[in-house]
Amino acid sequence: MKLTGHTILITGGGTGIGSGLARAFHERGNKVIITGRRAKILRDFSAPFPGMEAYAMDVSKEADVQRLYKVISKKFPSLDVLINNAGVGKVMDFAKPESLPRDLFEEVETNLKGLIRVSRAFLPLLMGQAASTLVNISSGLAFLPLGLTPLYGATKAGVHSFTQALRYQLRDTPVKVVELFPPAVATHFGKVPGAPDVKYPQMPLEKFIPKAMKALSTEGVELAVGASGALR
């Protein structure tokens, strides 16, 4: 895809990879709209970027997704890029059932069902453009799960399968479906409760974003960055 001339919606755009992509696309002159669950974080991040829009929204809540669609479809009818980035990750040990969190399925509701909710809601808008792109942020763990995060890996495997099927179904529409596989990136996302103090290679965010943007600028549809290519 071209990296300029778009109106772009990025879920989970106030922190981590989402914020890095939001900054990079804004710097290239695109109209960038970010969402996230925490309004203050969105406001604080977007404030230095003139014209960047921010809306508090939880992808795990159907009412939130529908409310956002109504706003975006009226205010930004030219939306032609959707980046499904919102996600959560948790360490879980099913060998110790008593330690499992009450909200056991938060990752499923956000990472997989949330991505599907947002895609379904915004596809009519994307399909109304001459050309558009839907980008799902996946993970190298879609190919090789990590024992510490069993549900996270399962959701990313689900994202990969869903994205492949969606690409096939939309093959005769204006919507190009792209999947981006980041490696482990050094953001606050990896600092999940209960995570052991284990050292493993992490790509700095400032190095990942240029690589991700370069990958997105190609005609590829399954874009593995860094170590995720080896996992694939």
Contact between 123 and 165 (Cβ < 8 Å): no
Q: Which residue has the tokens 């990896």?
A: 190
Between the alpha carbon of residue 197 and those of residues 63, 99, 219, the distances in Å are: 38, 18, 39
Give catalytic status of residue 69 as yes or no: no
Query: In a 3-state reduction of DSSP, which class is residue 134?
Result: strand
Edge-first strand order for the sheet with 132-137 is: 53-56, 31-36, 7-10, 81-84, 132-137, 175-181, 222-224
Q: How far apart are CA 67 and CA 57, in angstroms?
A: 9
N- to C-terminal Cα separation, the chain: 22
- Nearest by Cα to 69 from 117, 102, 103, 30: 117
Catalytic residue among 55, 69, 152, 200: 152
Show which residues are catalytic: 152
